[in-house]
Amino acid sequence: MKIEISSDKHLKYKEEIQQEMADSATKRGTGIAKRSLEYISQKISESKAVIAYEDDGTWVGFCYIETWSHGKFVANSGLIVSPKFRNKGYATLIKKKVFELSRERYPNAKIFGLTTGLPVMKINSEMGYKPVIYAELTQDEEFWDGCKNCVNYEILMSKERKNCLCTAMLYVPGNFENKSSKEKTNEEKCSISI
């Protein structure tokens, strides 16, 4: 399998990506905001997405990035894996690749995601994301407008955008690395004193 930063050569997957996003939302009965073919094409052409596919060209998965608040926030969104490739670890590989892309292009940005999926929450946690309240996310109107075609939009608005059915998760540069270093130092102290 290949996992690549997107380019125009990957535009051939746009319809399949859009359809799988819609099908997945319907099957799960949860909110995945719909994305137009134009939007997906733009992310692919701007190299702001990650595409996974088999050597024979069979599409495996997709995820893209979007920036908010003048680059202070980056969202990793639209993670989707073709049903026949699920439960094989590909979502984790795709998510890690799009995370690397986000960190490379926007090293000082806070990276966030909204999800209703436990597997995505687990992946995010392993990469250093923490659950947060919605107030800690970008407040750009355009971001929240992207939720309008989600089945849970009325819930979001009735709660004045303070919470919804999605869990907000945030990665703050430096926090995870610093925590890991402190944990190692504490572990070293424990092993020395034993």
Q: Distance of CA 16 to CAs 60, 70, 123, Å?
A: 10, 31, 24
- The per-residue pLDDT for range 79-97, each reduced to its tens digit, is 999 999 999 999 999 999 9
The pLDDT confidence band at residue 176, using thresholds 50, 70 and 90, is low
Q: Which residue has the higher pLDDT, 125 or 147?
A: 125
pTM: 0.82
> Where do the structural domains in the chain lie, given as residue ranges?
2-193
pLDDT digits (tens, 9 = 90+) for 21-64: 888 877 766 656 678 899 999 999 999 999 999 999 999 999 99
User: Looking at residue 151, what is its pLDDT?
Assistant: 80
Q: 3-state DSSP call for residue 53?
A: strand
> Is the CB of residue 65 less than 8 Å from the CB of residue 104?
no
CATH class of 2-193: alpha beta
Higher pLDDT, 176 or 185: 176
Helix (H, G, I), strand (E, B) or coil at 35: coil
